[in-house]
Each structure stands twice: as structure tokens, then as C-alpha cells.
Amino acid sequence: MALEAREIWKQSAEETTKLEGVKVEESNREGFSVTAVRILNETGAQALGKPVGNYVTIELDGLIRREQDGFPRAVRALAAELSALLSVSEGAPALVVGLGNRSITPDAIGPKAADHTMVTRHLVDQMPEQFGAFRPVSALAAGVLGTTGVESGELVHAVCEKIKPACVIAVDALASRSVKRLCRTVQIADTGIIPGSGVGNHRAALNQSTLGIPVIAVGVPTVVDAATLAMDLLEEAGKSDLEPESLGGAARGLMVTPREIDSQVGDVAKVIGYGINLALQGGLTVEDVEMFLS
């Protein structure tokens, strides 16, 4: 996450050092905290290890706490931030891609979000009198190489070649360095995504360079590295003199996820799916989406 990359930079840099090429804006949307990290040039990109672009993080603590109207407010907040990053004309066709493995709960955010997407491309084509006002939207749960034998990037590229969308919205799970962010934050970026990079399993990138169209990435952290978690817990206990490398060994490659991951993934995936629908289909409400998908 770009927000965490900035935090890591601040921890390692001298107090008087200024982070060049990066602009950070904090705001509030529908009662949720929003932080936008804008990497303006290559200097900022090298400092944070992220491509030049916009990275918007929405904190969804109110949704987890089941606050009143938490779900519709979260949907509207995500839709507004996503709409701000969409650079395609109204009515242009879009493809929503759910990345990840549906059979592994922490990796199922993408496929589950695709399940909540309003698929309208065929309706616009076949029943223009009733659905002509809708944006043509397609959805794809790309699966993973181990279950399909096809790279998700190759599959998305082939589908784009066939249906010619004006943009792609790719949803995937992320890895975080803080357990406090698991299933509680959503990052939206206009720089695309590299599936599997959060757990060291880099696959083919999905971005404007590879697909030839804008790619918006929507990600939710669902796992944290066990060694990083152990370091945080030791620091809270006042033992901050250890190096992360000393906690390798048996913990190497081990990822940790919340106990309530099943319900949390289901909740956040629904927020993302509904938020994408509101962003792509202007003028709709949460109730409209509920009726369409019921």
C-alpha cells in the first residue's frame, strides 16, 4: 500500500528530510477517513517504490463496527473516490476483473466483488429500450494460474481484445504491514496492479502499458506477514531492538489473517462491488443496485 510505503519512508528518513515528489491529502467522505497519496514524479516514485499516480485509501472502521448506515455510506464513499479517478467518458464500456482464488478466503475479495457487479453489456445490446441508459459493463473472475492453467493477465488481455472496454477495474487482495488495516481499508489506485506481488508471487502486470487502456486497481489488505506482525507486537511490548531478519526461520513465508476473515471478506467485497456499480452507473442508489442484483 502506498500509505504504508510513505510511513516506512518517514521512519527511515531524518526528521528534517522532506519527501520530494509526493503530495498527501487527508479528508473525510461520508464519515470515513480518506488519505490520498499522489506520487507526482520519478523522485517520489523511487522514494516510495511505487509508480507515478494517485493512491487513495479509505478507512472503513465504521463498517466493521456496524455503525448506523455504515454500509450505504461506505458504498457511496468508495464510489465517489473511484469516480474521481475514472478518466473515461460517461457510457463508455467497462470491464470489472476479480483477481484471486475463490477457494482461499483471504484471496477471494476479487471474485466476490465481481459477484456483486451489475453486468449490463448483454442487456444494453439485446434490450436497448429498457437498458439503453446503462453503461455496458462486463465482469470476469479471472481465477489463478494453479486452477486455470492460464495467467490472469493473459486472460484479461484476451477478453479486452475481444470486447474492447474503455477501462478496466481490477479488484484484488493486498498484504499489509499492520494488522489494524486488515479488511478495514480499501486502496484505489490509477496505476494498475501486479497480481500476487503482495505475497512475493509476482505475475504479469495489469496496467495501461500492458492493456492499452486505463486500469484502476481496488485492493483490500487481508493478510499480514507473520514476521512483521511479530515485530509490531515486540515493539508494543517495549522490545524494539530486534531486526526483522532475525525473525525469519519458521515464520518465513507465513501470512496471518483475522479470525473473522469469512464475514469480513464478504462484507468488504459487497461494499466494493456496490461502489463500483454506483461509480460506473451514474444516478443509481444503493437501493437501486440491491433491486437489480436481487
Q: What is the mean pLDDT of residues 39-68?
A: 89
pTM equals 0.88
Q: Does 292 reside within a domain? A: no
At 240 the pLDDT is 62
Q: What is the mean pLDDT of residues 173-180?
A: 86
How many domains does the chain fold into?
1
Q: Does 290 reside within a domain? A: no
Q: Which residue has the cell 443509481?
A: 284
What's the CATH code of the domain at 80?
3.40.50.1450
Instruction: Say if CB 143 and CB 99 are below 8 A apart.
Output: no
Q: What percent of the chain has pLDDT over 70?
A: 89
Q: Does 73 reside within a domain? A: yes
pLDDT-based confidence at residue 130 (cuts at 50, 70, 90) = very high
At 233 the pLDDT is 76
Q: Which residue has the cell 485492493?
A: 219
Buried b (16+ CB within 10 A) or exposed e, 12-21: eeeeeeeeeb
Q: Does 200 reside within a domain? A: yes
Q: What angle do CA 188, 85, 204 make, to 5 degrees?
A: 55
Q: Does 294 reside within a domain? A: no
Q: Which residue has the cell 492460464?
A: 150
> Which range of residues forms the domain containing residue 65?
2-285
Q: Which residues make Cβ contacts (< 8 Å) with residue 104, sequence separation at least 6?
A: none
Bigger pLDDT: 150 or 138?
138
Q: Does 291 reside within a domain? A: no
Instruction: Say if CB 99 and CB 205 are below 8 A apart.
Output: no
Q: What is the mean pLDDT of residues 60-71?
A: 86
Count CA atoms within 13 Å of residue 288 on its CB side: 12
Instruction: Say if CB 54 and CB 24 are below 8 A apart.
Output: no
At 254 the pLDDT is 81
Q: What is the mean pLDDT of residues 66-86?
A: 93
Q: Is the pLDDT of residue 97 over 60?
A: yes
What confidence tens digit (pLDDT) does each residue in 7-39 have? 766 666 655 567 889 999 999 999 999 999 999
Q: Does 275 reside within a domain? A: yes
Q: HEC profile for the chain?
A: CHHHHHHHHHHHCCCCCCCCCEEEEEEEECCEEEEEEEECCHHHHHHHCCCCEEEEEEECHHHHCCCCCHHHHHHHHHHHHHHHHCCCCCCCCEEEEEECCCCCHHHCHHHHHHHCCCCCHHHHHHCHHHHCCCCCEEEEEEECHHHHCCCHHHHHHHHHHHHCCCEEEEEEEEEECCHHHCCCEEEEECCCECCCHHHCCCCCCECHHHHCCCEEEEEEEEEEEHHHHHHHHHHHCCCCCCCHHHHCHHHCCCEECCCCHHHHHHHHHHHHHHHHHHHHCCCCCHHHHHHHHC
At 200 the pLDDT is 53
pLDDT-based confidence at residue 185 (cuts at 50, 70, 90) = very high
Q: Is the pLDDT of residue 261 over 70?
A: yes
At 82 the pLDDT is 96
Q: Is the pLDDT of residue 120 over 80?
A: yes
Q: Does 226 reside within a domain? A: yes
Strand partners, 25: 36
- Which of 202, 250, 198 lies closest to 226, judged by CA? 250
Q: What percent of the chain has pLDDT over 90?
A: 60
Q: What is the mean pLDDT of residues 279-288?
A: 94
